[in-house]
Amino acid sequence: MTSDATPPTAVPGPGRRTVVRGAAVGAVVATATAAPFAPARADVTTTTGFLHGVASGDPLPTAVVLWTRVTPSAEATPGSGKGARVAVDWEVAKDASFATIVRKGRVSTGTERDHTVKVDATGLVPGTRYAYRFRSGGKVSQTGWTKTAPAPSSTPPKLRLGVVSCSNWEAGYFAAYRHLASHAGLDAVLHMGDYLYEYPTGEYGAADGAVRVSQPAHEIVTLADYRIRHGHYKTDPDLQGLHAAAPWITTWDDHESANDAWLNGAENHDSLTEGRWRDRAAASRRAYDEWMPIRLSGTSAIGDGNQIYRQLSFGTLADLRMLDLRSYRSEQAPETALGQVGDADRTITGTEQMTWLKSSLSESAATWKLVGNPVMISPVTFAAVDVEAGQALHEMGGLLPPEGIPYNVDQWDGYTADRRELIDHLADHAIDNTVFITGDIHSAWACDVPKNVGTYPLSRSVAVEFVGTSVTSNNLDDILKVAPRTVSLSVEAAIRTANLHVRYLDFDRHGYSVLTLTPARAQMDWYVLADRTDPDSAARWSAGFETLPGTQRTRRVWYPAS
C-alpha cells in the first residue's frame, strides 16, 4: 500500500502439543512503575470506526510501521468481504494533543486487505517517542504511542523490551498485556509467536474448558477464517492497550497457521478434509501480514510477502534478529525414530536463513546480539554424551540421537545438525554476548548454551537463552489439573539434574517478561499472574537472571532491573 505522505512540518491441546507430551514426563512483589501515558481503548459499543485499535511495529531510527483497521459500515466485519473502499488519514505528532504534527498522509483500503491499514511513517527523529492516530468517515481512532530506534552510532544507556508469547484466547484473559503496558520506559514489545491459536472453540482451553469463546467457532483454515480470528483477538481491551503503548516486533510460530507446522504440512492439518497445506499456509500468512504491524518482506520496506526473518538495530547497544523456524524446516522426527534428529540433511532454519543468521552475528558490532527464537535452542535431553562421540556413533549407524534423548523434537533438539552448525559458528568466530530470546514452551527458563552438552560445565558456554512463559496457554499444572508446584518440582529437578546448563525452570506460571539491556548487563525478569482466568488478575515479579558481557553464562539476581 502506498502513502501520500507530506514532508515533516517540524522536526496445543492435549494429544497435539509436543510440549504437552514432554511435560507429562519466595518471590518479591514488585509494583510496576506507572507508564507516562494511559492509552485509551477503542469504543467497542459502536459498529463502525476503528474497532480493533491501533498498533505500531518494527521501529527503525527514522521510521516505524503504523497499523489499524477501519470498519466503514456495520456489515464490513473482518473476513466478510463486505464494505466500501474508504480513505484513511494518519497523523504522527510530538504530543498527545497533536498540536505539533510532524508527519501525515492518506491511504485507501478495502476488502482486498480486509480494510486494514499499514503505512510506514518515515522522516522521524531517532530515539523519539511519538503519538499517532487515524481518521476516516468522521471517526477518529484512539491515540497510540510509538518510539523510533536509536541512531545507528549512538549508545543508549538502557533498552527495555517486553517479552510475550503463547496467548491463547480460550485459556484465559490477557491481563499480562495490561500489566506489561504499565511498565515505564518500554522501547518495544517482542512477541515470540503463537499470537493466536487455530483450534475450534472448546478444544484447547484452560484446565476446566474454554474461559471465553473464540470466533469463528470452527477451526480456522481459509483466509476469511484467519481474518476473523485475527479481528476477534484484536477486540481484547488489554491487547489493544499494549499495542497502543509501544511498538511491537513479532514473529510467528506454529499456531498462527497450524500446530507443529513445517515446510510441507503440519500435525494439525488434514489435506483430505482441509485442502492443500500450501493454500492454508498462504492464507494464514496473508492474514498475518494484513493484521500485524510488521514489514513482512525481508527488507526495510512494507510489502506483501512471506519472509519474516529480519534484523533491527538499537544503536551500538543491541541488534535483534527475528527468526522464522516454521517456513523452511523439515518435518519433525517421529517418536519411533528419534535417531533422525541428528541427520545432516534435516533443517529447522533452511539454508538461506542459516547463512543470513551466521553472517549477521559475525558482522555485528553491537554489545548485545539478540536472537528472537520461536522455539528453544538450549539442549534439553536425557542421557547426554560427548557431542563428537555421539555424532560419530550416529554416523556409524547408531539408532539414538547424537546429543542425548530429546525432551521435545519440535525444538532445536529435533534438528541437532543445524544447532551444531550455529553453535560452532559462535565458538569458532569468538562471537560474544549472544542472547536467545524464546517463547513456545509455556514455561520460564534461563539457560547457558553449551558448546558440548555432554561435558558441560567442564566445557564452555557460547551464549545464553531466556525463555518467557505463556500469556495464557496451558502449562504443566494446567495439563495435569493439579495444584501448582505439586508435580512440577520433581519434573524440574529431573530436567535440571540431566541438564546442568539449565539454571532456572518454572513449569507452573503464566505472565510476561521484561528484558533490560545496558552496556554492563542483560537481565530478564519474569512477572507472573495470580490467575489467568481472572481479567483483573494481579501480577508480581517472580525471578530475575542476568548475564554479563563476555561471560556467556547466566546468574540469578534478587531484584527486578531498575
- Compute the distance between CA of residue 13 and CA of residue 429 in angstroms, rounded to an integer: 41
Residue linked to cell 513456545: 440
Residue 10 lies in a domain: no
pLDDT digits (tens, 9 = 90+) for 368-416: 999 999 999 999 988 655 566 445 444 545 556 777 888 899 999 999 9
pLDDT digits (tens, 9 = 90+) for 53-81: 999 999 999 999 999 999 999 999 999 99
Is the pLDDT confidence value at 302 over 70? no
pLDDT digits (tens, 9 = 90+) for 114-147: 999 999 999 999 999 999 999 999 999 999 999 9
User: What secondary structure, in 3-state letters, does 477-533 show?
Assistant: HHHHCCCCCCCHHHHHHHHHHHCCCEEEEECCCCEEEEEEEECCEEEEEEEEECCCC
Residue 7 lies in a domain: no
Residue 2 lies in a domain: no
**pTM value > 0.85:** yes
Banded pLDDT at 306 (limits 50, 70, 90): confident
Residue 152 lies in a domain: yes
- Compute the distance between CA of residue 76 and CA of residue 52 in angstroms, rounded to an integer: 13
- Compute the distance between CA of residue 92 and CA of residue 172 in angstroms, rounded to an integer: 34
- Domain containing residue 235: 18-557
Banded pLDDT at 339 (limits 50, 70, 90): confident
Is the pLDDT confidence value at 207 over 60? yes
Banded pLDDT at 444 (limits 50, 70, 90): very high
Contact (CB, 8 A) for 482 and 522: no
CATH number at residue 365: 3.60.21.70
Banded pLDDT at 36 (limits 50, 70, 90): very low
Q: What is the pLDDT of residue 434?
A: 98
Banded pLDDT at 327 (limits 50, 70, 90): very high
Residue 5 lies in a domain: no
Count of structural domains, the chain: 1
Banded pLDDT at 21 (limits 50, 70, 90): very low
Q: What is the pLDDT of residue 303?
A: 62
Helix (H) or strand (E) holding 143: none
Residue 144 lies in a domain: yes
Q: What is the pLDDT of residue 10?
A: 31
Q: What is the pLDDT of residue 278?
A: 96
Compute CA 389 distance to the chain's CA centroid, rounded to the nearest angstrom.
35
* Rounded (10°) angle between helices 277-291 and 223-233: 40
Residue 12 lies in a domain: no
Q: What is the pLDDT of residue 400?
A: 61
Residue 3 lies in a domain: no
Rg (CA), the chain: 22
Is the pLDDT confidence value at 299 over 70? no
Q: What is the pLDDT of residue 25?
A: 32
Residues 6+ apart with CB under 8 A from 255: 12, 193, 194, 196, 197, 198
